[in-house]
Structures are given as structure tokens and as C-alpha cells.
Amino acid sequence: MSLTIVEVREAAERLGEYDSVIDARSPGEFAEDFLPRAENWPVLDDGERRLVGTLYKQVSALHARKVGAALVARNVAQHIERHVADKPREWRPLVYCWRGGQRSGSLAWFLSQIGFRTQQLAGGYKAFRNLVREDLDVLPVRLEFHVLAGRTGSGKTRLLQALREQGAQVLDLEALACHRGSVLGGLPNQPQPPQKRFDTLLWQALRALDPARPVFVESESQKVGNVRVPDALMLRLREHGRCTVVEMDEAARVELLLQEYGFFAADPERFCRLIDGLVELRGRDTVQHWQRQARAGDWAGVFAEMMREHYDPLYLRSMDRHFRHLAQAPRLALRDGGDESLEAAARELLSQA
């Protein structure tokens, strides 16, 4: 029998050593965010948790604990039957709940009674969330960022991928956010993570980077879809990042956008609904014109006009405001968004890093 309490910083440093990381919270809590590698063994499901909370408030703490204990015992028994039968004696789980209290304590106690070397996270997910927020304030300062700037459709995201394939360190904020960062940036069938989940994914990504090597990242607004990039990272990118401006001629940019956003051809009404959000900026007549083009299948025309009249002016204003030395930044010309051009550009960037 072995049950120990572990502090959050120690647990975070040793996450890879645990055989399992077990989240005893309800599925609803788990969906919002969870520790890396965690699997959900809810000690109380969402409905049961609400029931026990209501009994605490409306009846008494004693009655709520009686009901809660019976529910917990049944659920823990089911988890043990379902998940533990094949576990060897040496299995080492880390168990946590919201605050490191009764839910994780109950599950951890049963596992320790079986004989597993079980650890319970002190402070639970709440302590982990505080650690993530603290680290996101300090981790960016340790890193040297090379920022790829450039207008919409100039191939920055593809260039990041080419850099990664050639062994460079890359921080892909759009991939973490499941969003391309514009009004059209939502990815088909890929909902964005909640903010807390995005923060944890970013925390993992930053911790994995080597401060001794440069990190390539794309210039982004602070909001990437519905999630927000932490202030410390944005400040590091804007004030200390080494910028390279990626350039591509308009025809090649349009072709790249046709490839990246070709899925709208199957659902032009979705495209039209999304750009309704541009009426305030560009006027109803302009937006309705773009909608007519989309419905008529003139995707090259609508993308070209939106680049010139919407995205390029926004980009220039934003970059001039946030990257003070952009005018002196080196330029990198991409012929197109094809593999050959991207590989050559990645090699050039790496030779200069």
C-alpha cells in the first residue's frame, strides 16, 4: 500500500514518469482542460456532481455526503473493474481532481489499497492551472523567436511546416488554436479548444523548446479566433522577435488561398455567413458583392478582392503598430506555395539563423 501527496511543480516535471495520469473530475470539467496525458475516470459525473452540490445547499452537508459516498463508491468500483484488471504491480498512477480533495482522494485511496504506488496531486487541477499561468509569463522570455511576417496568403504557415521538416524549432500558434486567425480561419470539423485548453497546449509546446536554439513562429494577432495569446508571449514576439517579411506576388497568393480555403466551394453559404461580420468594416455593399461572387463560384475573384481591400490594409496597419522595426526587416521572396519553393526558403532562413 503506497499513497503519497505530490506538489504540482514536482508532478509537472515528472509527468512522463507516471504510467497513467487520472483525472477524477466530471466529464464537463475534463472537456474544458486537463493535465497532459490525462484520462478521465469521473468519480462523479456531471449530473451526480450537480445533485450532491444541490443537496449540500438545500438539505444538509451530512445528507449530501451520504448520497455522494454511495455514488463515489459505485463509480470507483466500475473504474477499477474497467481499467485496473490488466495493470501490473509496478503501475504508478497520478490522480487529481479539482482541488485535490475528496474525489481524487477516494480514488487514490482505493488504488493504493490494491497495492499500486499511487500519487495524489496536491491542490488538484486548480494548482496546475495556476502553474500554467505562472509559467506562461516566464517561459517566452527564455526563447529567441524568429517571426515570419507577411500578408495573408503569402505562405507563412506552409513555410513553418517546411522549417519543421528540416529540423527547426517551430511554434505553430494556429495549429494549437485550430484556427487560421481571420474571419474565415475556422477549420472544417475542428472546433477550437477552450481558452484553458489552449493555454495548456501552449505551455506544453513552450516547455518542449530548447532556449539554446531559435524558434520560428508566425506573426499573429493577440486573438486567434476565440482564444487569446498570453501577453508575455505577444510582448516577446513584438518587442524582441527577429522579423523576416515573407513576400509572394498576388497571383500566387490567390492560388494558395484557393488551395487552403477550397472547402468553401462545397458550402458557399457558410462563407457568406462568416463575411457578414465584415459589414461594419467594409460596408454592406462591398460584402454583398463578395457574397454574390462566392455564390457564383468566382472564388479567385473574391479572394483577390478581399486581399486587396480587407486583409492587406489590416495587415499593414497592425504590423506598423506592433513591430516597430519591420521596415528594416529582411525580405524573403517565395515564388509560390509549392514544396520546392518552401524547401529552398526554409534552407535560406536556417542558414541565417
Helices (H), 166-194: 173-177
Which of 99, 96, 95 has the alpha carbon at shortest distance from 126? 99
Burial label, 331 (beta-carbon count in 10 A; 0-12, 13-18, 19+): exposed
Q: What is the Cα–Cα distance from 245 to 239, expressed in whole angstroms?
A: 16
What does DSSP assign to residue 150?
-
Strand duo 223-224 + 227-228: pairing: antiparallel
Helices (H), 167-322: 173-177, 195-207, 231-240, 250-260, 268-275, 279-282, 284-295, 299-306, 312-322
Which of 143, 148, 152 has the alpha carbon at shortest distance from 232? 143
C-alpha cell recorded at residue 19: 504510467
C-alpha cell recorded at residue 92: 504508478
C-alpha cell recorded at residue 53: 452540490
Catalytic amino acids? Answer: 97
**Cβ contact 127:217 at 8 Å:** no
Number of C-beta neighbours around residue 164 at 10 A: 14
